[in-house]
């Protein structure tokens, strides 16, 4: 899963540290050395992970976007300047925007906050931010935690465990972890005067965060050792009266094969790249002095079940239904990120055997030969009743969903008059949902956004664009148009009149 390294570059990080060998360094330099050790571990054991670097003090700065190039991040680390005081809340606002812009709100993300135990002073301090969490929305911006995406928050303090600043800040860091979803940890070196202790906590953190999943993919008498990237996480299913945790089995068993169109697009928990693991014999030969070229040659001549399965699924356009745990299923299929390269992927479904409604109970699936031609039907099975609606309903569970709907309308607005019909269709859809929910402030806010768009239109924009935006803003502000049955119609201009 992607990781954001959040480095504190406030003035308190420049405080000197006297090492046991007599040399002097700073907390910031110890933090940089620890981050480099963390990146070295990823470069050796988890090359497919995406890492981003952000520096913060009272403001935040995206130093390096998400990348797999650990050397690039190391280069950026060496050119970070020192700034003013610490403001962790501002940094978390920046992390939220970075992750949402790159991955959306469905991808789990890990955040490593590297600081010195100082939580800031005054109104921008962490203590003050946490004290006013329940008052937000009226007197200030909304607190960034919990993030709109699944998060693990790890706090690494470059401080001594007995330092007064750390003892005072530790409960505040724990509150941050609780707000983020109760997943994470607080790390502090045993002895700050020894640099190896700082490097050790970063290396241990990397090992805990990126423990590779190694298992066996089995189909009948064929099997192969595999590794999943990213590592699948345990899933906790909460009902009204119980909570159950599911863990991925080390043996992923193929139960059968099904055409890809029949699967359609079911809800999924996570997706993982399947990588074959080299045999022990090849590893031993490499340790005994075999060159890398010979090793590659040996691997290319060794039969691989992963290659066989990938080729068969790709040619036949099928997916393999696999059991990843007790009464827990997934699909293995060929996925292409370009026309020339494809990979073997695993999609893990929610626990249970009835998670895909149009397929029924997955435990009851069988071959078509078991049934008469009259009983064999195509998937997905369409309901007999005729639906009374023509489009999906609007659901705003999280802030990102509402932002997505507004951005869709603005994309159509910038392409007026060509997208006039789509613009008003989406606008009426959002307006009807807002009135149904009593969210009338959204209509006023949307009118304000349209007016701002009019002012920021480039000189090359079509004249109809400004006219339609102002017309839509005026209609949204009129109280007589708040009837849910009212439909906003385009302004008839010389550009769209028939």
Q: What is the DSSP string of 268-318?
A: -SEEEEEEEPPPHHHHHHHHTT--HHHHHHHHHHS--HHHHHHHHHHHHTE
Structural domain boundaries in the chain: 3-209, 213-370, 399-481
Least confident of 123-132, 272-281, 303-312: 272-281
Number of separate helices (H) and strands (E) present in the chain: 14, 17
CB-CB neighbours of 100 under 10 Å: 18
Higher pLDDT: 111 or 289? It is: 111
Average per-residue pLDDT for the chain: 83
Q: Is the pLDDT of residue 92 over 70?
A: yes
The pair of structure tokens assigned to 172 is 């505040």
pLDDT of residue 239: 77
CB-CB neighbours of 111 under 10 Å: 25
Burial class (CB in 10 A: 0-12, 13-18, 19+), 99: buried
Higher pLDDT: 52 or 390? It is: 52
pLDDT of residue 271: 87
pLDDT of residue 348: 93
Least confident of 47-56, 277-286, 469-478, 488-497: 277-286
Higher pLDDT: 33 or 238? It is: 33
pLDDT of residue 251: 92
pLDDT of residue 19: 84
| Residues 329, 124: Cα–Cα separation, whole Å | 47
From 64, 42, 67, 46, select the one nearest 55 (Cα to Cα): 64
Percent of all residues in the chain with a pLDDT value above 70, rounded to a whole number: 89
pLDDT of residue 300: 61
| Residues 347, 319: Cα–Cα separation, whole Å | 10
Q: Which helix (H) or strand (E) holds 403?
A: helix 399-413
What is the number of alpha carbons within 13 Å of residue 262 lying toward its C-beta? 17
Higher pLDDT: 358 or 72? It is: 72
Taking residues 293-297, report their average pLDDT: 48
- The reply to whether omega before 157 is within 30° of 0 (cis) is no
Least confident of 86-95, 110-119, 206-215: 206-215
185 forms beta bridges with 154
Least confident of 192-206, 231-245, 263-277, 314-328: 231-245
pLDDT of residue 285: 41
pLDDT of residue 377: 67
Higher pLDDT: 302 or 273? It is: 273
From 482, 480, 477, 475, select the one nearest 490 (Cα to Cα): 475
Q: What's 2's DSSP letter?
A: -
pLDDT of residue 391: 56
Q: Is the pLDDT of residue 6 over 90?
A: yes
pLDDT of residue 83: 86
Write down the CATH superfamily of domain 3-209.
von Willebrand factor, type A domain (3.40.50.410)
From 16, 31, 10, select the one nearest 124 (Cα to Cα): 10
pLDDT of residue 498: 46
Taking residues 276-286, report their average pLDDT: 55
Task: Name the class of domain 213-370.
Answer: mainly beta
pLDDT of residue 191: 80
CB-CB neighbours of 155 under 10 Å: 24
- The reply to whether omega before 230 is within 30° of 0 (cis) is yes
Q: Is the pLDDT of residue 290 over 60?
A: no
CB 313 within 8 A of CB 335: no
> What φ, ψ does residue 495 adopt, rounded to 5°?
-90, -25
pLDDT of residue 387: 59
| Residues 104, 145: Cα–Cα separation, whole Å | 16
> What φ, ψ does residue 380 adopt, rounded to 5°?
-75, 150
What is the number of alpha carbons within 13 Å of residue 87 lying toward its C-beta? 18
Taking residues 224-239, report their average pLDDT: 83
pLDDT digits (tens, 9 = 90+) for 329-372: 999 999 887 667 788 999 999 998 888 888 888 888 887 777 77
Q: Which residues contact 496 (CB under 8 A, 6 or more apart)?
A: 417, 420, 464, 490
Q: Is the pLDDT of residue 381 over 70?
A: no
Taking residues 447-451, report their average pLDDT: 90
Taking residues 463-486, report their average pLDDT: 86
Q: Is the pLDDT of residue 268 over 50?
A: yes
CB 51 within 8 A of CB 68: yes
| Residues 66, 173: Cα–Cα separation, whole Å | 25
Q: Which helix (H) or strand (E) holds 229?
A: strand 222-229
pLDDT digits (tens, 9 = 90+) for 115-169: 988 888 877 788 888 888 877 655 557 888 888 888 889 999 988 888 888 888 8
Taking residues 404-410, report their average pLDDT: 89
Taking residues 212-236, report their average pLDDT: 86
């Amino acid at each position: 899963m992607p990781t954001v390294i959040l480095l504190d570059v406030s003035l308190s990080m420049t405080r000197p540290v006297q090492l046991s060998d007599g040399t002097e360094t700073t907390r910031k330099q110890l933090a940089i050395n620890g981050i480099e050790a963390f990146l070295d571990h990823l470069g050796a054991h988890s090359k497919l992970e995406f890492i981003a670097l952000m520096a913060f003090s009272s403001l935040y700065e995206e130093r390096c976007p998400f990348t797999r190039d650990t050397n690039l991040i190391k280069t950026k680390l060496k050119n970070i300047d020192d700034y003013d005081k610490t403001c962790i809340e501002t940094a978390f606002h920046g992390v939220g925007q970075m992750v949402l812009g790159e991955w959306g709100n469905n991808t789990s993300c890990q955040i490593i906050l590297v600081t010195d135990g100082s939580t800031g002073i005054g109104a921008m301090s962490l203590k003050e931010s946490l004290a006013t969490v329940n008052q937000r929305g009226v007197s200030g911006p909304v607190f960034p935690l919990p993030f709109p995406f699944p998060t693990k928050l790890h706090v690494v303090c470059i401080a001594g465990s007995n330092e007064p600043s750390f003892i005072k800040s530790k409960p505040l860091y724990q509150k941050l972890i609780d707000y983020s979803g109760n997943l994470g940890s607080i790390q502090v070196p045993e002895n700050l005067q020894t640099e190896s202790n700082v490097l050790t906590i970063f290396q241990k953190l990397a090992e805990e965060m990126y423990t590779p999943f190694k298992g066996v993919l089995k189909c009948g008498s064929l099997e192969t050792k595999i590794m999943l990237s990213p590592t699948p996480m345990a899933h906790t299913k909460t009902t009204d009266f119980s909570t159950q945790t599911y863990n991925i089995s080390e043996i992923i068993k193929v139960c059968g094969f099904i055409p890809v169109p029949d699967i359609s697009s079911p809800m999924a928990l996570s997706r993982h790249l399947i990588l074959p693991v080299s045999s022990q014999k090849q590893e031993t030969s490499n340790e005994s002095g075999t060159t890398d070229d010979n090793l590659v040659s040996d691997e290319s001549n060794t039969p691989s079940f992963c290659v066989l399965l990938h080729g068969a699924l790709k040619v036949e356009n099928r997916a393999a239904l696999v059991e990843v745990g007790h009464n827990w299923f997934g699909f293995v299929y060929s996925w292409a990120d370009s026309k020339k390269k494809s990979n073997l992927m695993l999609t893990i479904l929610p626990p249970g055997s009835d998670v895909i409604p149009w397929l029924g109970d997955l435990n009851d699936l069988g071959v078509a030969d078991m049934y008469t031609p009259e009983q064999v039907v195509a998937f997905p099975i369409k309901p007999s009743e005729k639906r009374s609606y023509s489009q999906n309903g609007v659901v705003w569970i999280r802030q990102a969903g509402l932002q997505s709907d507004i951005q869709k309308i603005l994309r159509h607005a910038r392409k007026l008059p060509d997208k006039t019909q789509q613009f008003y269709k989406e606008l009426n859809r959002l307006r009807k949902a807002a009135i149904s929910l009593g969210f009338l402030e959204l209509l006023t806010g949307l009118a304000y956004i349209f007016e701002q768009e009019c002012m920021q239109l480039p000189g090359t924009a079509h004249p109809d664009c400004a006219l339609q935006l102002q017309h839509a803003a005026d209609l949204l502000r009129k109280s007589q148009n708040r009837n849910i049955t009212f439909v906003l119609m385009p302004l008839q201009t010389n550009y769209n009149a028939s």
